[in-house]
Amino acid sequence: MAVFTQVAEEEARELLRRLQLGELRELRGIHGGIENTNYFATTDQGQFVLTLFERLSPAQLPFYLRLMKHLALHGIPVPEPHAVPGQKQENLLLEVAGKPAAVVNRLRGHSELAPGARHCAEVGAMLARMHLAARDFPLSQPNLRGLAWWNETVPVVLPHVDPDQAALLRSELAFQNHVAASSAYAALPRGPIHADLFRDNVMFEDGELTGFFDFYFAGVDSWLFDIAVCLNDWCVDLPTGAHDAARAAAFLRAYASVRPLASAERQLLPAMLRAGALRFWISRLWDFHLPREAALLKPHDPSHFERVLRQRVAHPPALYAATS
């Protein structure tokens, strides 16, 4: 369940009035997600989502909320956060029940958990549009689950894994540090990325993409890393983690039709697929073995991304044809 903090209807009604989003008709807790408290709020003007941030530091939130606003204003379908009219429009962070909070538009549709090549192509094309639309976003915050975090966290999870897994974590981390020091890596185009665009963070309605959401791992990093995170989720078979060449080609062709990949990106794609798998293997190991507040977390299976990483190392996919 994902209502960690109860919100009184009266408080939600008052807030929606202040935001000039209409008169509350229904407030319903959302039973999904493990990080934040979420409610669907329906008013006589539309459908919104009220999120109370349970864990994220208020210092990090303006980057996420203003990025969503920026993307929405540039025509990318993402939940648009609302500010109180008359106050500074960049002030999107609200307070509800003593917690930092936001009110955003509700996206239509549902997540496509068994995507085909057409869904992957839609996500690829929209991801490229999103990268381009975020180029002039003025705030900067690093990807807080990037290389520095992997270097910090691998030693923390090593005591919890077997010797074979420890050897793979150590060697892959060394490989990624080596890649990050290369001139090709320095040449990768960068900007704000979603960094967690899995199947459950995208909505479709009648086969059409209606939006990307859950931007709370976004940060500035290489665009290629975002592509790799998507390929590792949208274009692998669950639960084996095996690469699906048709879906990957559809994704990459659609992405490259909006923004052709640079030569450094084509060169580093296999390495970045390994990086994307390593990132989620580490975070899942961390959540599994070192739960922060056990009651709030139902950790994802870490072994899935161990399998994806082993596959990426053993069989670097030949994806280049789709990218040029």
Ligand X SMILES: N[C@@H](CCO)C(=O)O
Contacts with ligand ATP, residue ranges (CB under 6 A): 2, 30, 32-36, 38, 49, 79, 104, 106-107, 200, 213-214
Which residues inside 97-126 make contact with ligand X, applying CB under 6 A?
A: none
Asked whether 143 and 224 are in contact (CB, 8 A), the reply is: no
Of 250 and 277, CB closest to ligand X:
277
Which of the listed partners (ligand X, ligand ATP, none) does 90 bind, with a CB threshold of 5 to 8 Å by partner kind? none
In the complex with ligand X, which residue's Cβ is closer, 12 or 169?
Answer: 169
Cβ partners under 8 Å of residue 131, min gap 6: 191, 193, 223, 226, 259
When asked if residue 40 is in the footprint of ligand X (CB under 6 A), the reply is no
Helix (H) or strand (E) holding 123: helix 117-133
Decide: helix, strand or coil at residue 296. helix
What is the footprint of ligand X within residues 174-213 (CB under 6 A)?
Answer: 196, 198
Which residue lies nearer to ligand X by CB, 289 or 300? 300
- Whole-number Å distance between alpha carbons of 230 and 227: 5
Count of residues that bind ligand X according to CB under 6 A: 6
Chain centre distance of CA 17: 31
Name the residue nearer to ligand ATP (CB basis): 150 or 213: 213
**DSSP string for residues in 241-294:** --B-HHHHHHHHHHHHHHSPPPHHHHHHHHHHHHHHHHHHHHHHHHHHHS-SSG
Q: Record the tokens describing residue 237, joined without a space.
A: 């078979």
**Least separation, in Å, of the C-beta of 52 and ligand ATP?**
10
Q: Which helix (H) or strand (E) holds 184?
A: helix 183-186
Nearest to 103 by CA among 39, 152, 187: 39
Closest distance to ligand ATP from the beta carbon of 47 (Å): 8
Does 145 interact with ligand X (rule: CB under 6 A)?
Answer: no
Of the pair 274, 284, the CB lying nearest ligand X is at 284
Task: Please state the length of the chain.
Answer: 324
Smallest gap from Cβ 57 to ligand ATP, in A, equals 15
CB of 43 to ligand ATP, least distance (A): 15
User: Whose Cβ is closer to ligand X: residue 34's or residue 184's?
Assistant: 34
- Partner interacting with residue 19 (select from ligand ATP, ligand X, none; CB below 5-8 Å by kind): none
284 binds ligand X (CB under 6 A): yes
Q: How many whole angstroms separate alpha carbon 291 and alpha carbon 295? A: 9
Smallest distance, Å, CB 5 to ligand ATP?
12
Beta strands in 88-236 (DSSP E): 94-96, 99-105, 190-193, 202-205, 208-212, 219-222
Per-residue x/- marks for ligand X, 252-281, CB under 6 A? Answer: ----------------------------x-
Question: 96 has which bridge partners?
Answer: 99
Q: How far is the CB of 296 from ligand ATP (least distance, A)?
A: 9
Q: How far is the CB of 157 from ligand X (least distance, A)?
A: 14
- Burial bucket for residue 29 (CB in 10 Å: 0-12, 13-18, 19+): middle
Out of ligand ATP, ligand X, none, what residue 280 binds, judged by CB under 5 to 8 A for its kind, is: ligand X
**Rounded least distance, CB 168 to ligand ATP, Å:** 26
Q: What is the DSSP string of 196-222?
A: ---GGGEEEETTEEEEE---TT-EEEE
Sites of contact with ligand X (CB under 6 A): 196, 198, 280, 283-284, 300
